[in-house]
Amino acid sequence: MLIKNFQAETVSAALGKVKKELGSDAVILKTSPVDVKDRLSRRPKRYFQVTACVDDGTLPVKKQKSTEAAKPQNNDIANTPNELKAMLRGIQNDVRKLLSQSGPVEVAPALSDGSGQLRTRLDRLGFDGDYSNDVIARLQETDLDFSDARAVNASLLKEISDDLTDAHEIKQFAGKATLVALVGPPGSGKSSLAAKLASHFVARRKSKVKLVTLDDFKPGSKHEVERYASLLNVDFADSSFVENSKSDEGVVLIDTAGIPVGSFEERDELRERLERIGVDEIHLVLPSFCRWCDISQWYDFFEYMAPTAVAFTFMDQTSSYASALNLCLTRGIQLSYFSAGRTSAKDLETADAKSLLAKALGSTGGSE
């Protein structure tokens, strides 16, 4: 039997390599994420590894002492190539079924008992695979009955809640302005979030606010932020004099240009500029509807800027919240604010990870 590993940026691409090299008779044994260091960025890049096998003619054939077919002495062991193939194909079908439901998973945990069903559920909800294994292992150490859906959901909610970080709100100081920069990829909703935060501090906190834009790239960005400032009746500043215009109180909200993942020079220049300005907090703004693999890649890229917390936008455009929760559970990151895709300031709320977890687990009703 020939067993080989294949790596690609997606599971489907890796499966394509399997079919091309080993043929359609190849049996998929395992698929799992693999982090490989990039020599240029010096940061790991996520790949997916598929382990597959195929009969290359080396499987032994049991010799017959008589014309009658010999009966297997152990019903748990396949004694002929055909039996082994049938057994491997059964595993292959199980794996394909799991892959059609969710992202990359390990075969063994998902094919076990009731805890395997829980792992499948967490995968479908979008929780990080390694974290799912860890939390299930902790639950297995208790006397939890995995056939009791309500008990499993309650235990899971408590176990994960204990791992979540507290929310981070923008801090204010008497007699000193708090300079807050919003950074993130293009289209993540930074400008809208800046306007909502400005409305929040003006209306609810009765604080002095200044809106600033450093975005010289997106057409109309300056006028958009300036219009927000005019509607809210707050001060406005652009990139031409922001470094010499610190306020003595209140909050200064700084909108920045979106930086695509991989644009290291733009990111590094923005970090240096924010250091010169002397910002107190950096909030990474990410869209909540994206997959965990994208959220993870974005955070790894912007981690160099040492974000204080992460804010999630477009919360009304997804019913799966695991991508936001994964940052807390796997990186220990604090979440700051949630907002919807609308421009109304009413949809801005302080991030509540535990409430978000209840929504995520409740989306399946705990009945699986």
Whether 255 and 318 share a structural domain:
yes
Structural domain contains residue 69: no
Residue 314 DSSP one-character state: -
Whether 146 and 213 share a structural domain:
no
Structural domain contains residue 71: no
Number of domains in the chain: 3
**pTM for the whole structure:** 0.67
Helix/strand/coil percentages in the chain, nearest 5: 45, 20, 40
Whether 130 and 269 share a structural domain:
no
Whether 99 and 132 share a structural domain:
no
CB 243 within 8 A of CB 285: no
Per-residue pLDDT of the chain in tens (368 residues, 90 and over written 9): 677 888 887 777 777 888 888 887 777 777 777 776 655 555 667 777 878 787 766 655 545 544 444 444 444 444 556 666 666 766 766 665 555 554 544 444 444 456 778 888 899 999 999 999 999 999 999 988 888 889 999 999 999 999 999 999 999 888 888 999 999 999 999 999 999 999 999 988 888 999 999 987 776 777 888 888 888 899 888 876 555 455 567 899 999 999 999 999 999 999 999 999 999 999 999 999 999 999 999 999 999 999 999 999 999 988 889 989 999 999 999 999 999 877 666 789 999 999 999 999 884 444 44
Whether 207 and 346 share a structural domain:
yes
Structural domain contains residue 367: no
Q: Identify the pLDDT of residue 111.
A: 40
Whether 93 and 147 share a structural domain:
no
Whether 300 and 183 share a structural domain:
yes
Structural domain contains residue 368: no
CB 307 within 8 A of CB 279: no
Q: Identify the pLDDT of residue 43.
A: 61
Structural domain contains residue 360: no
Whether 197 and 333 share a structural domain:
yes
Whether 121 and 253 share a structural domain:
no
Whether 271 and 324 share a structural domain:
yes
Burial class from Cβ neighbours inside 10 Å (0-12, 13-18, 19+) for residue 260 reads exposed
Residue 308 DSSP one-character state: S
Alpha helices, DSSP H only, in 102-244? 107-110, 114-125, 129-140, 149-161, 190-203, 221-232
Q: Identify the pLDDT of residue 97.
A: 57
Position of tokens 């604010």? 337
Whether 135 and 271 share a structural domain:
no
Structural domain contains residue 338: yes
Classify strands 235-237 and 251-255 as parallel, antiparallel or unpaired: unpaired
Residue 289 tokens, joined: 């509807």
Whether 25 and 138 share a structural domain:
no
CATH code, 312: 3.40.50.300
Q: Identify the pLDDT of residue 178.
A: 92
Give the domain extent around 36: 1-62+76-111
For residues 201 and 337, what is the distance between their CA atoms, to the nearest angstrom? Answer: 13
Structural domain contains residue 308: yes
107 HSE (CA, 13 A, CB side): 17
Final residue belonging to a domain, choices 133, 163, 193: 163
Distances 13 to 17, 50, 53, 350 between C-alpha atoms, Å = 6, 10, 17, 40
Structural domain contains residue 173: no
Q: Identify the pLDDT of residue 319.
A: 83
